[in-house]
Amino acid sequence: MTADINIRQATKEDIALIRNLAQIIFPHTYGKMLSQEQIDYMMGWMYSPKNIAAGLDSGQEYFIVEVEGEAVSYAGIAPQEDDPDGTKVFELMRLYILPEYQKTGLGKLLFEHVCEHIRSKGFKKCRMMLHVNRENPAVQFYLHQGMQILYSKDFDIGHNFWMTDHIMGMYL
């Protein structure tokens, strides 16, 4: 991709933008894996303005990718409890790209940006982990970026809905 690409850290002023991107990307990504009812439930749970703001207040960080000035992708990370050996842990909570920009290299660019951002914090030992639906083709993307499947688990998220995920990780 030879377009003008900018990755910037999101602020609270970007909450509506993140939600708007999610309203397009999330159903496209999960439409064949989850029921519409579960997608609606998860959108309300994860992408309400109140929940995004609370996440930002608690240390979550979001990044926006703009192509030619248009927001087309976002990622979110959150610090987690340190490992017993003192390794700092971050969760890659979200990395989503508008369908028409998928498979253009933006995902790799954003993934590398997030990894470098975490590394820049200067921790001696650090790792990143994520949850990804076992049926999501993104599993292959993350494996290609150097992540490993650590284990698989089903998570009850309420209202009779389940997340059936691989937990993946890598040291940074």
**Spatial distance between the Cα atoms of 171 and 53, rounded to a whole number of angstroms:** 28
* Mean pLDDT, range 102-131, rounded to an integer: 97
Q: Which of 128, 158, 138, 166 is nearest to 46 (CA)?
A: 158
Per domain, the residue ranges of the chain are 5-171
Binned at pLDDT 50, 70 and 90, residue 172 comes out as very high
Find where tokens 């688990």 sit: 153
Binned at pLDDT 50, 70 and 90, residue 170 comes out as very high
In this model, does residue 1 exceed pLDDT 80? no
In this model, does residue 2 exceed pLDDT 80? no
With beta carbons less than 8 A apart as the criterion, state whether 21 and 98 touch: yes
In this model, does residue 150 exceed pLDDT 80? yes
**Spatial distance between the Cα atoms of 38 and 40, rounded to a whole number of angstroms:** 5
**Class of residue 166 by CB neighbours under 10 A (exposed 0-12, middle 13-18, buried 19+):** buried
Q: Please state which architecture CATH assigns to domain 5-171.
A: 3-Layer(aba) Sandwich (3.40)
Counting residues of the chain whose pLDDT is more than 70, the rounded percentage is 99
DSSP state of 90: E
pLDDT in tens, 44-92: 999 999 999 999 999 999 999 999 999 999 999 999 999 999 999 999 9
Strands (E), 5-146: 5-9, 61-67, 70-80, 88-97, 126-133
Binned at pLDDT 50, 70 and 90, residue 3 comes out as confident
Cβ neighbours of residue 53 under 8 Å, at least 6 residues apart? 12, 15
Q: What is the mean pLDDT of the chain?
A: 96
In this model, does residue 147 exceed pLDDT 90? yes
* Mean pLDDT, range 156-160, rounded to an integer: 95
* Mean pLDDT, range 2-27, rounded to an integer: 96
Binned at pLDDT 50, 70 and 90, residue 42 comes out as very high
Cα of 1 vs its chain's centroid, Å: 22
